[in-house]
Structure 1
Amino acid sequence: MKSKILENKKQKENKLLKSAFDLFTTRDIDTVTISEIARHAGVAKGTFYLYFKDKDQIRNILISRESRRIFLNAQKALEENDIRGFEDAIIFMINHILMELKKNRSILAFIEKNLSWGIFSDYVQNAFADDELHIKNDFIQLAKKNHYQFKDPEVVMYIIIDMVGSTCYSSIINNKPLPIDQYKPYLFDAVRAILRTGKTNEE
């Protein structure tokens, strides 16, 4: 009986998340109301507050989830390719992410410049601990294997992801400073330059 109640609660939560995602990615978020999210999900407005504090909270959870999904896709693509070099692996993942965002601008518009939330948000770290997204550990292990050593690898990761998320949002959405295909070579050079700060002389 208890498991059935929990299952029903989870179904309602997922309906609300899907409803909010559908509305947020097709409308201006500021115009979407909690009443609409609940109605679209087929539940009472009061039910919304059993799961979420407000519209900002559900939006932030959805951004974190969607960003995480994009990283998972890039991680899986990397695992399917025989790319062993540290810098090449990072560039491959970034390029995969950019291609996905270019293909689906409504998702990029929703995420805005918050791509790093897919790895670093409190929601992702609390909700998906020890799950299949192991980019942080892979980054550290691949760096060591290829003789790169960073004082704080997570900070380096954050800098790169945040730079990619913020500058590529402008490039894909507004073609500023350049359209994304023209901008990528500059971005990749900048990422390699950051990564090479950790390159050691060991071979």
Structure 2
Amino acid sequence: MPSVEENKLKKRNKILEAAYNLFAKNGINTTPIDEVVKCAGVAKGTFYLYFHDKYDLMDQIILYKSAAIIKSVIEQMKNINTDNKMEAVDQLTFFVDAIIDYMIENKEMLSVISEKSSILYSLIIDNGDDNIKLDFDYLTDIIVKLGNPPENAKKLLLLVSTMIFTTASNAILSRSPFTIEEIRPEIHLAVKKMLA
């Protein structure tokens, strides 16, 4: 039998998933909370146990989805690099490609979070749980292995992640000024130059 905490988490995740799907389909401004709770199968009061309003919900969706993506990509990277012989630059290239591939396959997510891309990093760092912070530590360790000072690693991660997300989002969603196929090699080059 699930514990009280497991039930709470399940309800919260149902709200997050329902809202994500509705926001992707209809947009945040045209989706009322009543529609979110109906789709999630929970009472309106339950919504307010977890979220202040739909904009708080939106921030939590971004955190929830982004953390899942990053965790998945890092796990893939660790599975490939079991002997720890993969060069830091190759790990970084793998990470960039995996994130871009995920973005291509999940365009609906881009439309949901593109409005908040400028605060994505701070949402994850400031509001994420310890597991998310460990994932970011893994990435900053790669940046340090490339010869960057440890005190600059988080700043560089912010710059790189914002650049990747913004550039790839524009290329995927609007295909302007370049398609993702046209700009991907330049993203790799820019990341390597910024971090090497």
TM-score tier by shorter-chain length is 0.7 to 0.9
1:194 and 2:189 aligned: no
Q: Counterparts in 2 of 1:8-157, with a 5 A limit?
A: 8-82=7-81, 84-112=86-114, 114=116, 120-121=122-123, 125-129=126-130, 131=131, 134-149=134-149, 151-157=151-157
Contact 1:78 1:92 in 2 (8 A): yes
Q: What is the distance in 1 between the residues matched to 2:52 and 2:27?
A: 20
1:183 and 2:193 aligned: no
Q: Helix, strand or coil: the match of 2:25? A: coil
Q: What is the distance in 1 between the residues matched to 2:188 and 2:173?
A: 19
Q: Deviations over 1:91-112 (max 9, x none)?
A: 2101111011101211121121
2:97 maps to amino acid: N
TM-score (norm 2): 0.84
Aligned-pair distance for 1:66? Answer: 0.6
**Residues 193 and 7 of structure 1: CA distance in aligned 2, closer, same or farther (over 3 Å):** closer
Aligned-pair distance for 1:143? Answer: 4.1
Moved more, 7-16 or 20-29: 7-16
Q: What is the distance in 2 between the residues matched to 1:126 and 1:18?
A: 19
**Residues 176 and 46 of structure 1: CA distance in aligned 2, closer, same or farther (over 3 Å):** same
Aligned-pair distance for 1:87? Answer: 1.9
**Residues 140 and 14 of structure 1: CA distance in aligned 2, closer, same or farther (over 3 Å):** closer
Which ranges of structure 1 fall in alignment gaps of 5 or more residues?
197-203
Q: What is the distance in 2 between the residues matched to 1:60 and 1:74?
A: 21
2:99 maps to amino acid: I
Aligned-pair distance for 1:13? Answer: 2.4
Moved more, 14-23 or 170-179: 14-23
Q: Deviations over 1:139-180 (max 9, x none)?
A: 343344454435411000000000111111100001112110
TM-score (norm 1): 0.82
Aligned-pair distance for 1:117? Answer: 6.0
Q: Deviations over 1:2-39 (max 9, x none)?
A: x8554444333232222212211222222110111111
Aligned-pair distance for 1:64? Answer: 1.1
Q: What is the distance in 2 between the residues matched to 1:116 and 1:90?
A: 21
Contact 1:114 1:165 in 2 (8 A): no
Structure with the larger helix share? 2
Q: Partner residue of 1:200?
A: none
1:159 maps to amino acid: L
The runs of 4+ residues in structure 1 deviating greater than 6 Å are: none
TM-align CA RMSD: 2.5
Q: What is the distance in 2 between the residues matched to 1:93 and 1:165?
A: 12
